[in-house]
Amino acid sequence: MPGVYLGTSDFAATVLGILAASEQKPDLVVTLPDRKRGRGRKEQPSPVAQRADELGIAVLKSGNVNEEEDRARILEAGGDWASICAFGQLIKEPLLTELPMLNVHPSLLPRWRGAAPVERAIMEGDRETGVCVMRLVAGLDSGPVALREKTPIGPDENFGDLSARLAEIGGRLLVEGLRAARSGEIDWVEQGEEGVTYAEKITGPDREIDPSNSAGSVHDQVRGLTPHIGAWLPLGEEERLGVRATTVLESGPGSGEFAELEGWPVLGCGDGAVRLDRVQPPGKKEMDGDAWFRGRGQDSVLGLDP
């Protein structure tokens, strides 16, 4: 059965793998052009392009799917329904009408429409999230929903763990949704506007840890940005300590101050404290917090005279 899949991210690559293992395997994968990545800043294909190559699926690397040449190729291979997940471009008219698309979105719509739904759900302390498969429309993640599935967010679960589980759910739901759409048996439920929230793209200020916030809030911030983006704690005027994992404590030192607990560094927050379980000092690899504490010098961290 012919079809097109549009996607770019690691999440979308996992969904593609599940789709390709089913009878809904696409004939063409569309993704963004290669871009410079990593320390060497060498041009590399997107995760979806790499996965499609492994699967032997033709790839179109498009800078703009709405331009005539790329649009024509998509329509030629598009079949009756296409699918899209974390693609990174806006689909505009006339393509939006010419080729109906099922969109995989990792949130319980209408909560967390937008660019960073998984991160924002964790950072806001949500206890559950999920995946929706909806009809792609011009409005931001506002189309009618065909399928949805909930999943809990563990109190210590980070983005990497949760995203992997959501991608597996998304792939399974997309296979089911395409099967229903292509057989004419799909049912739509309009979202409505009650409970709408927007998951804005993560920016620099989102990464900086503010110890005046509660310990729970700091813990959620670290979880939501680990391991792909990373939260950081300012140390002095210029130094930044990456924080990758924490444990919430009921009490500790004053906000922004450090204490020692059985060899581990504890950061005081506006309400409670957090133990720094995993950190990444500037220019170094990630390490346990107690190793950093010893190597940095406890007295130095605690603000004591050596």
What's the rounded mean pLDDT across residues 172-192? 96
Instruction: Work out the percent of the chain whose per-residue pLDDT is above 70.
Output: 97
pLDDT at 133 over 60: yes
pLDDT digit string (tens) for 82-95?
999 999 999 999 99
The predicted structure's pLDDT at residue 195: 93
What does the pLDDT read at residue 305?
Answer: 44
pLDDT of residue 57: 98
Question: Do 64 and 81 contact (CB within 8 A), yes or no?
Answer: no
Give the type of residue at 99: L
Q: Mean pLDDT throughout 127-155?
A: 97
pLDDT at 63: 96
Q: Cα separation of 37 and 45, whole Å? A: 9
Q: How confident is the model at residue 306 (pLDDT cuts 50, 70, 90)?
A: very low
The domain limits of the chain are 4-199, 205-302
Residue 1 clears pLDDT 70, i.e. is over it: no
Span 134-141, mean pLDDT?
96
Tokens, residue 287:
């390490």
Per-residue pLDDT tens over the stretch 248-284? 999 999 999 999 999 999 999 999 999 999 999 998 9
Q: Which CATH architecture has domain 4-199?
A: 3-Layer(aba) Sandwich (3.40)
pLDDT at 42 over 90: no
Q: Check residue 279 and give left, alpha or beta (phi > 0: left; psi -120 to 50: alpha).
A: beta
Residue 303 confidence (pLDDT): 67
pTM of the predicted structure, to 2 decimals: 0.94
Task: Tell how strand 145-152 and strand 128-135 pair up.
Answer: antiparallel
What pLDDT sits at residue 302?
75
pLDDT of 4 over the 70 cut: yes
Distance in angstroms (rounded) separating the CA atoms of residues 246 and 266? 9
The mean pLDDT of the chain is 95
Answer whether 82's CB lies under 8 Å from 100's CB.
yes
Per CATH, the number for 205-302 is 3.10.25.10
Alpha helices (H) along the chain: 10-20, 47-55, 68-77, 95-98, 117-123, 159-182, 204-207, 215-224, 289-296, 298-302
Q: Would you state the pLDDT for residue 18?
A: 98
Positive/negative CA dihedral, 25, 27, 33, 37: positive
